[in-house]
Amino acid sequence: MILDVRFDFDRQNRIGLVEAIWGEHKSVKQLKKVAQEVLKKGEFVFITRIDESKAKCLQDIYSNATFIRDANCLVIGENINKVKSEKTVAIVSGGSSDLRVSLEVKTALEIYGITCETFIDVGVAGMHRLMSQLDRINTHDLIIVCAGMEGALATVIGGLLPHPIIGVPVSVGYGVSKDGMVALNSMLASCSPGIMVMNIDNGYGAAMAALRIIKNKH
C-alpha cells in the first residue's frame, strides 16, 4: 500500500514559504505522486534528504530536475516567488564534515533568491582560520553557523559579531559527540546572548528561520 502524501498548498499564502518534501523515508512512488501534484499547482518542488538513486529516478521523469548531490537535495522547476531583499547570509561551518548541512542551508536560501557566501573549515580548533575570514563574514547581514563536535563555533562568533546568529548542531564527532547531542546542548547553553538554535542537522530549518528574519518588514 502506498501511503497518501498530503502537501500543504496554502503554506505560501499563510507564511510565504513553500513546503519542502522530506525524501529520506518516502518511496520513489510517493515522491513522484507529490511532485506531480505540486507541479500541477504551478509550484516548484524542493526535496530534502533524498539519496542519489531516488533523485536519478525523478530526474529521468523531469528534465528540469536538479540534484545537488553534496546537499542531498533535489529541485524541480523554479520558485517564481523569490524574496526581494538585498540582505545576504554568511554560512559558516566548523569543518568539511559539516558540508552537507551547510549546503542544505545554501540550497534552501538560494531557491528564494537570497545571496549567500559559505565559509568552510573555519572551526575553533584553528582560530586563525576563523579570524582570517571574520572581516568578510562581518559584511553579511545574518550568520548561520553549522558545527559538530562540541559546537563551540556559534558561541565564539556570537561573542565577536553583533549579527543575528542561527546555530545548527551537526551530527559529527567522536564518542560522546556522536549524533550531535553535545553540539546541540553546547549551543543551547551558549554564554553568547541571543543565539538561535535549530535541531540537529536541520539546515533547512535554519534557512527558513533566516528567511523569516529577512522578510520581516518591521
**SS3 letters for the chain?**
CCCCCCCCCCHHHHHCCCCCEECCCCCHHHHHHHHHHHHHCCCCEEEECCCHHHHHHHHHHCCCEEEEHHHCEEEECCCCCCCCCCCEEEEEECCHHHHHHHHHHHHHHHHCCCEEEEECCCCHHHHHHHHHHHHHHHCCCEEEEEECCCCCHHHHHHHHCCCCEEEEECCCCCHHHHHHHHHHHHHHCCCCCCCEECCCCCHHHHHHHHHHHHHCCC
The strand pair at 165-169 and 196-197 is best described as parallel
Identify the pLDDT of residue 138. 95
What was the pLDDT predicted at 124? 83
Q: Comparing 45 with 124, which gets the higher pLDDT?
A: 45
Which residues are within 8 A (CB) of 203 and not within 5 positions of it... i.e. 6 or more apart?
A: 71, 100, 101, 102, 103, 104, 105, 108, 146, 168
pLDDT number for residue 1 = 44
**Interval 12-27 mean pLDDT:** 80
Taking alpha carbons only, the member of 165, 154, 156, 152 closest to residue 210 is 165
Beta pairing, strands 65-68 & 73-76 = antiparallel
**Residue 52 pLDDT grade (very low, low, confident, very high; cuts 50, 70, 90):** very high
Residue-level pLDDT at 4 = 61
Provide mean pLDDT across the span 81-96: 89
The answer to whether residue 56 scores a pLDDT higher than 90 is yes
The confidence score (pLDDT) of residue 13 equals: 64
Only one residue has cell 504551478, namely 42
More confident: 197 or 150: 197
Q: Examine the pLDDT at 91 and tell me if it is beyond 90.
A: yes
Say what the pLDDT of residue 10 is. 64
pLDDT at 146 over 60: yes
Q: Which amino acid is at 201?
A: D
Q: What is the mean pLDDT of residues 164-184?
A: 90
Predicted TM-score (pTM) of this structure:
0.88
Q: Average pLDDT of 40-52?
A: 89
* Structure confidence at residue 42 (pLDDT): 82
> Which of 133-137, 144-148, 175-179, 181-185 shows the lowest per-residue confidence on average (mean pLDDT)?
175-179
Average pLDDT, integer, range 23-39: 89
